[in-house]
Amino acid sequence: MNGEECKENAAGLQPERIQKILSAYGVASRRNAEKMIIDGRVSINGVQATLGQSAKSGIDIISVDGVPLAEKNEFVYLMLNKPCGYITTVKDTRGRKTVMELITGINGRVYPVGRLDKDSEGLLIFTNDGGFANSIMHPSFDKQKTYEVEVSGDVQNALKLLKLPVSIDDYTVQAHSVELSDINNGGGTLRISISEGRNRQIRKMCWVCGVSVKSLKRISIGPLKLGELKSGQWRHLTDEEVSALG
């Protein structure tokens, strides 16, 4: 038995499908990881991976877009105040600006947790910890997300309707809470908290309730608040913030 075989046996590691490893590291869902493999973005020990191939996490060097996966003990947790005009994706084939362009100068590779659409701004979390990401995104963990939403239209009537179950895209959603922060002749500002995170959910809820969204900003996720972080800037989460979110 050679030295490499001894190392593998001592580690007790069994080969796993690459998409499963990528998902465990928080790179992408298994389905999206399969697409990354098909697109030629994944390599094992410097050789382009193929769909269905297995590897040993911690022994084989698995890279995405040329960047090796972080070790399990090298988890990174960040928050960004996303500006408008950036899309929440790691890579865009249409050449649009992505939030990854704003996350520079860190060790390791991170990915956005959930998303904010191009025209929305505010709190966005990044990590390479798949379990942590799932605890934020999955509705069963009930991580409330709060938004400040400037709208035009009959804001008083919308305030009443938004507190009720709302039907959008053939499913029913309901805000956890809705408050009126400000009112003016043309509309006002609402503070809306939800536990789900369906595509453009807040905008669709407002439209169904008779108001149009002029601006949308996420100000908190669970106990984590955006605070005074300036637009386009990011910072590491504290250990206390990570523990509170996880």
Print pLDDT tens along the chain (246 aa): 444 444 344 344 578 899 888 877 767 778 888 998 999 999 999 999 999 999 987 788 998 888 787 655 578 899 999 999 999 998 888 989 999 999 988 866 788 998 899 999 999 999 988 778 888 877 667 789 999 999 999 999 999 999 999 999 888 999 999 999 999 989 999 999 998 878 899 999 999 999 999 999 999 999 999 999 999 999 999 999 998 987
- The pTM assigned to this predicted structure is 0.72
All structural domains of the chain: 3-69 (3.10.290.10), 73-138+226-245 (3.30.70.580), 144-221 (3.30.70.1560)
Residue 117 bears catalytic tag: yes
Q: Among residues 198, 225, 237, 32, which one has the least CA distance to residue 115?
A: 198
Tell me the three-class secondary structure of 67-117, residue by residue.
EECCCHHHCCEEEEEECCCCECCCCCCCCCCEHHHHCCCCCCCCEEECCCC
pLDDT of residue 232: 96
Catalytic residue among 39, 60, 92, 117: 117
Q: How many helices (H) does the chain have, and how many strands (E)?
A: 7, 17
